[in-house]
Amino acid sequence: MNHTIAARRGQATVASILCFICAVAAPAMWFLLVDSELLRSTGLVSWLCVLASVAFGLSALRRDKGWGVRLRVGVSFVVCGLFGTLFLVLLALPPSEKMAALTVAPDFTLPDQNGQMVQLRDPKVKGPTLLVFFRGHW
């Protein structure tokens, strides 16, 4: 019986360490994959890390409720919670009412990468124009 308890404790320790690694991997993977449009906007790989962390954590706690396991799993779940809060809440953007209310695009003239002035409603341009506001890297 001692052998079984020791084995369960060992498994719980491994699972709780994997739980922590997956929790820390969630935000790390998001930053590493930030150049992939799909992965950046959905956070897909990161959410899979969160799921894995939760699975390992629950598995560890089932096998051993000692303070070492609880501490590692607890810290891991806090990290997962912080990532979820960051991703869903802190990065949320309240919509611009001014933008939503515009019916006609305000005309403007700005320099391009060569210093040439470019006008939005250039009479020489016949078709529609796609105007993209971007922040820098992405």
Partner 1 sequence: MVSANKLAFPILSDPKLEVIGAYGLIHPGAGPKGNAIAKPAMLLVAADGRIVWRFQSPRVQERARVADILQALALAP
- 91-98 long-range Cβ contacts below 8 angstroms, 24+ apart: none
- Residue 71 binds to partner 1 (criterion: CB under 8 A): no
Contacting range for partner 1; rule: CB under 8 A; set: 9-17, 59-67, 72-80, 125-133:
125-133
- Residue 105 binds to partner 1 (criterion: CB under 8 A): yes
CA distance 116 to 7: 72
Min separation Cβ 65 and partner 1, Å: 37
The count of residues in the chain is 138
- Residue 35 binds to partner 1 (criterion: CB under 8 A): no
- Residue 124 binds to partner 1 (criterion: CB under 8 A): no
Around Cβ 74, how many Cβ atoms within 10 Å? 15
CA distance 67 to 65: 7
Closest residue by Cα to residue 27 from 89, 72, 82, 93? 82
Min separation Cβ 99 and partner 1, Å: 4
The residue ranges that bind partner 1 (CB under 8 A) are 37, 40-41, 43, 87-88, 91-93, 95-100, 102-108, 110-113, 116, 118, 120-121, 125-136, 138
